[in-house]
Amino acid sequence: MDQPVIRPRPRSVPRRRRPDRRRFPRRRLTALAAVAVSLVLTGCTRSKPAAVGGTAAAATPVVSGPLCDLLPSGNDPGNPASLAGQPAEVALQWLPVLTTFDAAVRASGLAADLHAGSGLTILAPTDDAFAAKFSEDNLDQLLLVQQDTLRDLLREHLVAGSLSLSDMVAAGGVTTLAGTRITVAGGGGTARLAGQADTVCADYQVAGARIHIINRVLGKLPTTGGEDGHRAH
């Protein structure tokens, strides 16, 4: 009787793992607890701003600066064309790097002034700029207690008249609503203000105003923060 032929079992071939899809790094945004608290203090419920259409105006606004590529563009909510014609205090809510500045505007009571402004230039520091300038404790005090100081600070970042970046560079300087004269120098889509702050995404056109995002907090208040925005001890 013939012996059965035993065929060796084929070795299983390990399943090839598909390479992971490339993960794009998330933007690092500084989240501050004082933002939510300050809105409650001022008695305003921060509702979602009215939906902004993506239809571009006849002349599509052009923003410039190294940070612009990381901000809403194309058909994304908050893209420059969709913000054109929106009130300044609404437009600020759509720019994800300006949460602290937006909270400060509301806590100080200046949101109504921005809405009613007939011509204004807004030099808006990023969240990282606020974290580098103020400790969390110091920022909490400004947002929740020291509204007069906060209003004075914000006026250091407001200029009468809706001025483009090229307008400011051509003038060589501007005077803030706080009465401070700051130099403006540069070109090629960026500018340096007061010899210390740089525009990182300039020329957002909104209703009666221009918003220029900058990387430093202006004014004479002392620096109490650091790169990580730690709490003071």
pLDDT on residue 48: 41
pLDDT on residue 187: 79
Q: What is the CA radius of gyration of the chain?
A: 24
Residues 72-100: pLDDT tens digits?
999 999 999 999 989 999 999 999 999 99
Q: How far apart are CA 75 and CA 66, in angstroms?
A: 20
Bridge partners, residue 199, by sequence = 214
Q: How far apart are CA 158 and CA 138, in angstroms?
A: 22
For the chain, domain boundaries: 72-214
Q: Which of 94, 138, 142, 160 is nearest to 230 (CA)?
A: 138
* pLDDT beyond 60 at 46: no
Say if CB 106 and CB 42 are below 8 A apart.
Answer: yes
CATH of domain 72-214: 2.30.180.10
Say if CB 131 and CB 229 are below 8 A apart.
Answer: yes
Residues 130-139: pLDDT tens digits?
999 999 999 9
pTM, to two decimals: 0.75
Residues 129-179: pLDDT tens digits?
999 999 999 999 999 999 999 999 999 999 999 999 999 999 999 999 999
pLDDT on residue 130: 98
pLDDT on residue 102: 97
pLDDT on residue 112: 87
Tally the residues of the chain: 233
